Chains A and B, each alone.
Chain A
Amino acid sequence: MMATTDRVDAATEKKKATEAVLELQDVSVLYSGKPAVKKVSCTIWRNRITSIIGPSGCGKSTLLRSLNRMNDFVDGVTIEGSIQFAGQNLYGSDVDPVEVRRRIGMVFQKPNPFPKSIYNNISWGPGINGYSGSMDELVERSLQQAALWDEVKDRLKDSALNLSGGQQQRLCIARALAMEPQVLLMDEPCSALDPISTAHIEDLLFELQSRYTIVIVTHNMQQAARVSDYTAFMEMGHLVEFGETDQIFTRPEKKRTEEYVTGRFG
């Protein structure tokens, strides 16, 4: 635990001043009028990993899904407040949600590869978006970024469903990376994986943060402490505390945060 904190300290020391990628201002998400996320305001910084923690049902996944408009597909959902991304409100009337999702990728809780070949899993997204470069190179690059290339390079034409759970999840990450998104949202990406696969993915996150901005929802506090630069603690739809990860875990300002991160509830 001590070692982990040291590493996070060093990491935050190394890179201080950054620019905002997503700015949330009083964001509320309501399902059929019932609020699931209540007036959340915070900033997601470029090339940083931000984790969202909190007990089940606190609204962390809902908040994450509002960042790339995946909540649009839920019946009866309304969103209040504003989320600024590249100078525009994501929920502005002139914003095309398809374009939002193209720029802000997502990895889901359970690996969900398409029932297609490994190659086609990666190439489909760029294909429909009119990618004009060399598809073979893009596939290789994406798989390499997701640390999967060496394991699958000889069987790209095989079905993705034959991969193990951990490999499938890295394939899903590669698939998202192939779109070259600005932000990568991850919704408990390790919750369906064994510890070794989880370690793989966490290592991967360190590799990726130099190029991408990552927001990760996790119910595993150790994971949040290990991988993230910033941590948001949510409870009952409220953002209780937001700050640098080592501060949240070692010197939380709010009593509820302290109780949660020390395992007294949740």
Chain B
Amino acid sequence: MAFLDEQGQKNLAGRHRKARLFSLLCALVTWSSVLMLLVLLIRITMDGIGWLDLHFLTSFPSRFPEKAGLKSALVGTLWVILLVAVVSIPVGVSAALYLEEFSKRGRLGTLIEVNIANLAGVPSIVYGILGLAIFVRFFALERSLISGALTMSLLILPVIIIASREAIKTVPMSIRYAALSLGATRWQTTWHHVLPSAFPGIMTGVILALSRAIGETAPLILIGAASFVAFLPKNLMDSFTALPIQIFSWASRPQVEFQHLAAAGIIVLLAVLLLMNATAIYIRNKTEKRLK
């Protein structure tokens, strides 16, 4: 049965062909990137799995590869991420709330907005220099855990602010009006309604930002995180190392055993990253369900 004349039929067939071609192309692009990731994962796993054991996780680095582990780097990374989360989430979300809910729209607001967008694109090594100048030198915090965490917080703040603002913008105005018309203050409206509604979106931004922080190496090297630390940080002023730095240090050694250690380190880093994301996604989904 044909609803269209001959010309129309031909035309339609051509359009269908184009649509098929395009979806094929999209699938190809998607799968090739997945494939590349897979190849990378398989290679890393093959290189490092033999070296990955409890001893590896619970030993300090050593110049003998069979004795070396990444205890100090793993603990250092966990500390840094914890501190970064504690510093950057409240500051970033508060800044986003201020910009969206409380500040008057105007020239100053636009200026701040443009600046934050630009800051999100600044190379991480520049933040390293900033951290070195401000935290290490000016505030005399030395090459410590807290310096590293604060520098990393600066790095991811713009990402958190931008993502949080987008999440806050999606909260419908009608919810705010409903609360305000009941005699709520701006703060009560924000705290009880806007923030909970925006929470899943904010969490997504936070996950992305923390994932970036966990893999960043450049700023930590610049502020002087050590690559050979044979103790655990006991307080915020202790020196520290982190997984990417440990991996980098092993990978730059000539002995082939250290290459395997680096691969094992990468597996641990990825595992920490996935675990962190999974937790965050779990929390997000739980709150999303509660809102429905």
Contacts and interface: CB of A to CB of B under 8 A. Distances in A.
Given A75-B105, A128-B192, A159-B292, A68 B175 contact: no
Nearest to A116: B291
Interface in B270-292: 291-292
Interface residues of B, number: 21
Which residue of A75, A102, A114, A176 has the most chain B CB atoms within 10 A of its CB atom?
A114
Given A115-B197, A159-B292, A161-B292, A172 B178 contact: yes
A176 B181 contact: yes
Interface in A16-41: none
A125 B291 contact: no
B182 A112 contact: no
B185 interface: yes
A98 B178 contact: no
A70 interface: yes
Contact of B177 (A103, A112, A113, A124): A112
Contacts of A106: 177, 181
Nearest to A172: B178
A49 interface: no
A125 B183 CA distance: 7
B27 to A, nearest CB: 36
A112 B292 CA distance: 14
Interface string A153-185: 000000101000000000010011001000000
A128 B181 contact: no
A114 B104 CA distance: 26
Contacts of B185: 98
A93 B265 CA distance: 65
Contact of B182 (A110, A161, A176): A176
B188 interface: yes
Dominant secondary structure at the B interface: helix
A112 B181 CA distance: 12
Contact of A115 (B104, B181, B291): B291
B192 A101 contact: no
Nearest to A179: B182
Contacts of B177: 70, 73, 106, 108, 112
How big is the A interface, by class?
Answer: 20 to 34
Nearest to A110: B174
B116 interface: no
Contacts of B104: 75
B292 A99 contact: no
A129 interface: yes
Given A124-B192, A161-B292, A114 B183 contact: no
A128 B184 CA distance: 7
A101 B193 contact: no
A106 B292 CA distance: 24
A98 B174 contact: no
A73 B172 CA distance: 14
Nearest to B184: A128
5 nearest A-B pairs in the assembled complex, by CB-CB distance: A102-B183, A125-B182, A112-B174, A106-B181, A115-B291
Interface of A: 68, 70, 73, 75, 98-99, 101-103, 105-106, 108, 110, 112-115, 124-125, 128-129, 159, 161, 172, 175-176, 179
Interface of B: 104-105, 172, 174-185, 188, 192-193, 197, 291-292
27 contacts: A68-B181, A73-B177, A73-B180, A75-B104, A98-B185, A101-B180, A101-B181, A102-B183, A103-B183, A105-B182, A106-B181, A108-B174, A108-B177, A112-B174, A114-B178, A115-B197, A115-B291, A124-B179, A124-B182, A128-B182, A128-B183, A128-B184, A161-B292, A172-B178, A176-B181, A176-B182, A179-B183
